[in-house]
Chains A and B, each alone.
Chain A
Amino acid sequence: MREKAKAAAATDDTRANDLSLDEAVPGHREIGAAELKSVAEALIFVAEEPISAKIIAELVDVDEDNVRNIITKLVAEYEARSSGLQVREIAGGWQIATRPEHHEHVRAYLKSRPSAKLSLASLETLAVIAYKQPITIPEILEIRGVQSPSAIKTLLDKRLIVTKGRKETVGRPMMYGTSKEFLIQFGLKDLSELPSIEDFQDLAGGETTEGRRQ
């Protein structure tokens, strides 16, 4: 993806050079705000994975902050006209996606059903890893009070977690952390968007286990 982008950037550059031979300033042509917005939209639309402002900036050869500002406008435009689509920031990039409120119709058309959810064991293990990463399996056991080998395996299979090297301690156990796929599947910009674990303190203080499962 990135390489493709770079290759495209390269050809863009040469083309720009060709065009500007007779111009006073060699190099790229200034891109107007309106055009930049339009190009950014096209790129976000066509990118298979969330595309970062940096990549767009490199492609179009403008300042990264410019791109960020223009995308903010784009997002506002989609909002303003109550579009069925949204431009949203996810996993360190931008993505065009449908609005969740249309899910019934979209599902009816795609003939898809919500895919199998993670089991409670896997979700709890994932929560521990997300907040305590990098973390080793014995440390997960300590918090959960229960072994979770199959949960770890499920999470690895689904590529929600990845290994993050070994801990320099007895036995040098493997450490785990969440992946980019995790951010995508849980709709997070980055890890800092996770609510602080201390925010769950109040919940933990009083709530019963009721309503925790379906």
Chain B
Amino acid sequence: MEDNNSPEMTAVPAPESASQAPATITVTGAEPKIRPDHENDRLKITLGEFEGPLDLLLYLIRQDQVNIYDIPVARITDEYLRYLNLMQELDLSVAGDFLVMAAQLIELKSRMLLPRDPLAVEEEEFDPRADLVNRLLEHEKFKAAAQMLWSRATVEQAVFTRAETETDKNNPEVAVGLFDLLTVFQKILARHKEEVLMEIEREEITMAEMIERLRNMVRSAGELNLITFFERASSRRELVVAFLSVLELVRLGEISLLQRETFGAIIARATNPA
């Protein structure tokens, strides 16, 4: 699935409009099938999901139920090439690995056709297929091993260990105390005094409006630094309202406050609906 050379990667689903009645290519499972999809009046081709040339070759051998130790090279090579052609026709990108195997198969096929060297020593007679057979068997073993790992992981995912112990370090939600909150508030207030040189008359914001503003800010930002929130207040009075609205939303359990480190910024976050 992650390797570019598995054919399913480039399987392009046909456009959805049924009027064109194109062939839809769905690539799932190990069995390649062509089956009519009566509902949409389309032809569905399901290709095997092959993890590479060895995988495809193994599939062909198993499908034909031939003895792996005595592979009919000519027949399997033909089938292999036909498969490659099909993949190309379907516009699947055929990775280099598949082509390399094709070349090896053809070479093997020609070597099988050649008469044996009459001068060769009898003992040295060697089945040119042996190398390929060994690779196939080896590959199949690892496929089985992968399957074993898969089942182990499945069982393992059903086993749970204790959650992490709560310490200040790994749990920032060590409830922010009222004192911490006041400290931040005082800091803002002090900064505010320095900054505001001229007060502009503006409509006072009501508590309800302020709560709504806080809600929106938390919702849109996900996590909201309280300093950012307080800094939007344009008057001392508005700051007080802002502070009260924080307290109110905490009381209602809509937001929770957390501090990732001592004296760090206090963050407001929407409480997860439990």
Q: Which residues of A contact B (CB under 8 A)?
A: 45-46, 48, 95-101, 103, 106, 110, 114-115, 117-124, 126-128, 130-131, 142-151, 154, 185-188, 195, 197-198, 200-201, 203-205, 207-210, 212-213
A interface footprint on B115-144 (CB within 8 Å = 1, 0 otherwise): 000000000000000000001011111111
Contact between B158 and A123, CB atoms less than 8 A apart? no
Q: How far is A101 from B4 in the complex, measured between Cα atoms in Å? A: 38
**Which 9 pairs, one residue from A and one from B, show the smallest C-beta to C-beta distance?**
A146-B52, A103-B158, A145-B54, A100-B158, A127-B145, A204-B140, A119-B1, A150-B2, A200-B144
CB of A121 within 8 A of CB of B51, answer yes
Interface pairs (5), CB distance under 8 Å: A114-B154, A120-B51, A144-B54, A144-B139, A150-B3
Q: Are A146 and B2 in contact (CB under 8 A)?
A: no
The 8 Å CB contact of A145, one of B30, B97, B152, B157, is: B97
- A99-B159, A187-B155 known; A145 vs B135 contact (CB < 8 Å): yes
Residue ranges of B at the interface with A (Cβ–Cβ < 8 Å): 1-6, 29-31, 49, 51-55, 58-59, 62, 68, 95, 97, 101, 135, 137-150, 152-162, 164-165
Using A118-B153, A123-B150 as known contacts, list a sample of 9 further A-B pairs with CB atoms less than 8 Å apart, ordered by residue number in A. A98-B160, A120-B1, A124-B51, A146-B97, A147-B97, A200-B144, A201-B137, A204-B144, A212-B30
Q: Tell which of A103, A117, A147, A195 touches B5, judged by Cβ atoms closer than 8 Å.
A: A147
Interface centre among B137, B139, B140, B162 (most CB of A within 10 A): B162
Check B30 against A201 for contact (C-beta < 8 Å): no
